[in-house]
Structure 1
Amino acid sequence: MCHDYLRPALLIFASIAIGVVGWSGHVLLLPVALGFPVLWSIARTRSVAALVSAGYFLAASRGLPQGVAAFYSSDIWPGLLLWLCASLSFVTVHTALWATSAALRPFRYFLAALVMAIPPFGITGWAHPVTAAGVLFPGWGWWGLGFMTAGLAGLVTRIWPAVAIAFAGLWLWSAASWTEPRLPRWRGVDLELGASLGRDTGLQRQRDLIATVRSAAGDGARFVVLPETALGYWTPTVARFWTSASGDTDATVIAGATVLDATGYDNVLVSIDRKGGSILYRERMPVPGSMWQPWRFLSGESGGARADFFANPVVAIGASRAAPLICYEQLIVWPILQSMLHDPDLVIAVGNGWWTDGTSIVAIQRAATTAWARLFAKPLVTAFNT
């Protein structure tokens, strides 16, 4: 009788440990997440598979309750509720597709992985094990993604120890030869301005940001990237001010901003040089709940951030084509893969993570984008505010 409870308990505790370690924010630890499919497959009942899925996902996204509490300046309960609701899709999919038949498990897990990578379930498809492809198959591109997908299916079969050993060998080789592509003349600027970034839009703040850009340009940067919402609201006045300030430098500024109208707002990246400023990119997937609120549209209300979903996967910046990712888009799978279908020259990842203080959320964003950039051998430029 004790054994009947011990095995499920061990599987659940192991899934929690895998979620914590795999999604700790260290890119080379991402392959630890590959332990989840193994635990899911060796669960003997659907209920245990559900608990294993919940343990993994809740552990991987453990920073959400504290982050939400900080963002809304509230107690922990709203964050806990959002945390549990966000886990519902992951747990539901993996519970529904769990199979007692060993022959069906590879197909079922492949289907679960696919469903969690694309909308609608992919909207909350955090902590996807396929993200580890960039660590195990750096530079392999779509072939690497294919081998990773096949390997995930192999991890839920009886030959999973052999697949795990093969992955471990690739992991060690990758760790020993890890390098990151560099992009000359590009500079991502990290800021430590806390909650004031994007909210303090006074003249002095704009001057300070311009001084930061000029300092980077003075060091040889041709393109300078500032974090999400760095400029606050994007208005004709702000555009003219920054264009005027760019008159004595050759640098192009890529910066986060907010475009507001009567029906809601867009989270955007703008491009500014001496010729003027323009909207470069509109965020495809804002944070569900706190930013993207589709129920407002269904009820005829205004407000909330617009989701452009599959729009503008790549943008032109000078002679280069970039794949932009703003904040939440770095935690899910389909935006980066959609961008890679267009073979961009580089990846730009920006975020405003002041509300994640004390959590590993920004580190996880960096690790995930680094892994995807490595998989497709694309240089990565990041800019975060904390």
Structure 2
Amino acid sequence: MTPDILARSRRPGFSDLRGRSSHSIPARLRSPLLVAIAIVVGTVGWSGHVLALPIAITFPALWAQSPSRVVAGMVAAGYFLAASRGLPQGVANFYAADLWPGLLLWIAASVAFVVVHTVLWGRRREEGRSGRRALRYLAAMALMGVPPFGITGWAHPLTAAGVLCPGWGWWGLAGTATGLAMMTSRFWPAAVLALAGIWLWSAATWTQSDLPQGWKRVDLEYGPRLGREASIDLHRDLIATVRVQAGDGTRFVVLPESALGFWTPTVARLWQKGLRGLHVTVVAGAAIIDPQGYDNVLVAVSATEAHILYRERMPVPVSMWQPWRAWIGQDGGARANLFANPVVELSGTSIAPLICYEQLIVWPALQSMLHSPDIIVATGNGWWTAGTSIVDIQRASATAWAKLFSVPIVAAFNI
């Protein structure tokens, strides 16, 4: 080809139809298509069905295929906002307000996820540089798994390990992390096929876990009364419910988060009196208040004793945990105990407690699993999630962690 012909071939009017039809139009569609697929992945993967969790493993591939840092951020935003879509309605229910506060909190909560994935995104030319893009994603995954970014680390794709590798424990977690990293490399089609095959096999052999012997859970439908109403009649109703569940070898009965309201010596005596004649211990949610704020806790109460069993490590940010109060010299809000009491002992049984929000993020479950607990006790007070799938997502996440480590789980929720 002569220089003159070569020069003319580079002009806009040169008739290279192949270049125009197969590159320019798809290039314009590529970015919105990636964002749209990310929204679908976030919506379906985090629908509240535990077997749907592995759909989230496609997010790293969408992120890695983004043509620019801006598009990578949009892909991350689409995925996260779709996965957490129930938040605006939940906030509106909780505060009996319109959707605007919830929408603002929804967008604010996505900031950490979007910023981490935007900053750590790398161009495709880095593919061949010793897996640099895979390392970038592993770094993003790790940052979104632990504080401070992990405080809003919802919809973490690593949660799918419980479905992909049930019973594999830490090896399953490592294998899933490796698969997620491979999704960002040029080998992503092979990774998709391998993970899809594992997913189908797992789904075909999936079984629901039975309650451990001697344990019973009680789901309630008390709505906003639970945790807000302190009447003796409510406590007597709950005691009567426990007495119905006792028997047939039952040693422990689990009630939802906030079931006992404000925990005081008077409430403790009421429950101990109500449980007389039963050889059963009730594990239930309550709140311990002091002048500086409060702890969201689980208590253990029987006919002979009552004590605080667990203090929540990560309360719900904003509605419960309000660290800015201390920064401006004010009291109030729930305390975040972060890495405290990952497991607790009850009658010789090692328990990994997960209260409400702790079921949506990564580090509380993994920190507890480091101590090889005998059982997971998951509780929640989800009346404010009416019209959303938040409680279903909490159940699915807790179930996935229990399946991954082959630990039995007892979950009790109020709706």
Pairwise same-fold verdict (TM > 0.5): yes
Aligned to 1:46: 69
Deviations 1:254-313 (A, max 9, x none): 000011110000000000012111000000000011100001111110000000000000
Aligned to 2:3: none
| Gapped regions of structure 1 (runs ≥ 5) | none
Aligned to 2:13: none
Partners of 1:106 and 1:221 in 2: CA distance: 49
Q: CA deviation at 1:210?
A: 0.4
Aligned to 2:54: 31
* Residue 109 of structure 1 pairs with residue 132 of structure 2: no
Aligned to 1:255: 284
Aligned to 1:60: 83
Aligned to 2:293: 264
Aligned 8 A contact 1:228 1:352 in 2: yes
**Which residue among 182, 185, 197 is the counterpart of 1:169?**
197
TM-score where L is the length of structure 2: 0.92
Q: CA deviation at 1:111?
A: 0.1
* Residue 309 of structure 1 pairs with residue 338 of structure 2: yes
Aligned 8 A contact 1:240 1:276 in 2: no
Q: CA deviation at 1:4?
A: 3.1
Out of 239-248 and 349-358, give the one that drifted further.
239-248
Q: CA deviation at 1:59?
A: 0.1
* Residue 154 of structure 1 pairs with residue 177 of structure 2: no
**Which residue among 342, 363, 371 is the counterpart of 1:334?**
363
Aligned to 2:103: 80
Aligned to 2:216: 187
Deviations 1:219-272 (A, max 9, x none): 542100000000000000000111111121001000000111100000000000
Q: CA deviation at 1:161?
A: 0.9
Out of 174-183 and 50-59, give the one that drifted further.
174-183
Partners of 1:156 and 1:344 in 2: CA distance: 34
Partners of 1:245 and 1:324 in 2: CA distance: 25
* Residue 91 of structure 1 pairs with residue 114 of structure 2: yes
* Residue 10 of structure 1 pairs with residue 39 of structure 2: no
| Gapped regions of structure 2 (runs ≥ 5) | 1-23
Aligned 8 A contact 1:181 1:377 in 2: no
Partners of 1:372 and 1:3 in 2: CA distance: 40
Aligned 8 A contact 1:280 1:315 in 2: yes
User: Tell me, what secondary structure is at the counterpart of 2:179?
Assistant: helix
**Which residue among 218, 222, 225 is the counterpart of 1:196?**
225
Aligned 8 A contact 1:181 1:378 in 2: no
Partners of 1:198 and 1:272 in 2: CA distance: 17
Partners of 2:281 and 2:325 in 1: CA distance: 37
Q: CA deviation at 1:181?
A: 3.6
Aligned 8 A contact 1:27 1:371 in 2: yes
User: Tell me, what secondary structure is at the counterpart of 1:187?
Assistant: strand
Partners of 2:375 and 2:188 in 1: CA distance: 35
Aligned 8 A contact 1:127 1:331 in 2: yes
User: Tell me, what secondary structure is at the counterpart of 1:260?
Assistant: strand
TM-score where L is the length of structure 1: 0.99
* Residue 216 of structure 1 pairs with residue 239 of structure 2: no
Aligned to 2:8: none
* Residue 293 of structure 1 pairs with residue 322 of structure 2: yes
Partners of 2:66 and 2:224 in 1: CA distance: 44
Partners of 1:73 and 1:333 in 2: CA distance: 30
* Pair member with larger Rg: 2
Q: CA deviation at 1:185?
A: 1.2
Aligned 8 A contact 1:180 1:379 in 2: no
Deviations 1:155-202 (A, max 9, x none): 100111111111111111111111244301101110011001111221
User: Tell me, what secondary structure is at the counterpart of 2:287?
Assistant: strand
Aligned 8 A contact 1:19 1:60 in 2: yes
Partners of 2:62 and 2:295 in 1: CA distance: 40
Q: CA deviation at 1:218?
A: 2.9
What is the letter of the counterpart of residue 329 of structure 2? G
Partners of 1:215 and 1:5 in 2: CA distance: 64
Deviations 1:344-386 (A, max 9, x none): 0010000000000000000000000000000000001000000
Partners of 1:181 and 1:52 in 2: CA distance: 35
Aligned to 1:145: 173
